[in-house]
Amino acid sequence: MPTDPELLRRLLRARDRMDAASEEDWPVRRLARVSGVSEAHFARSFKAAFGVPPHRYLLTRRIERATALLRHTDLPVTEIAMQTGWKSLGTFGRTFRDVTGESPSAFRAREAALPQAPSHVPACWLKAAMRPDLTMAVSEKRRQDDAPTFGPSDGGDGPP
């Protein structure tokens, strides 16, 4: 975690901008400009301060907002994808499924069938509990899910 309070304030400024407009494109160059530091320094410092790279942080926010819209509105999935910053419905659907384990439509149907959340739980706690866990890149997760497994049923003793 950066110990320089000025650097942390600059990183928080960039994170707040991403939070306020997560549907916008936020390349590292733009975030570094908002923070007033170099791109490389920004990327390293952001990950050190918040535990995830800037792109993964933004992806988390987009999925978080999409799940809220799927849960609480009747907007079409395409509209939700566009409102949350995705350029392609296919990319949104694939990424959503990789992160949550189900398609946006299946998520909406499952959430609609559940009883409503208790009103006595603070919204910030519910939001934190429902936040997607993106401690690894979606592409890494996809590779792990697609990796062949070896075991007694395949007739071999293990990988070659």
**Domain containing residue 82:** 60-142
pLDDT at 78: 96
Same structural domain, 21 and 65: no
Per-residue three-class SS string for 133-147: CCCCCHHHHHHHHHC
Same structural domain, 37 and 90: no
Residue 113 is assigned to a structural domain of this protein: yes
* CB-based contacts of 96-103 (< 8 A; 24+ apart in sequence): 96/63, 96/66, 98/138, 98/141, 98/142, 98/145, 99/59, 99/63, 99/132, 99/134, 99/138, 100/63, 100/67, 100/132
Residue 92 is assigned to a structural domain of this protein: yes
What residue type is 111 in one-letter code? E
133 closest CA partner among 100, 102, 87: 100
Cβ-Cβ contacts under 8 Å for 1 (sequence gap 6 or more):
8, 48, 49
95-151 residue pLDDT tens: 999 999 999 999 999 988 887 655 676 777 767 777 776 666 666 766 777 766 665
The CATH number that applies at residue 90 is 1.10.10.60
Residue 104 is assigned to a structural domain of this protein: yes
54-74 residue pLDDT tens: 999 999 999 999 999 999 999
Same structural domain, 44 and 76: no
Same structural domain, 133 and 67: yes
Q: How many angstroms separate the CA atoms of 86 and 84, rounded?
A: 6
- pTM of the complete model: 0.70
Same structural domain, 64 and 45: no
pLDDT at 127: 72
Number of structural domains found in the chain: 2
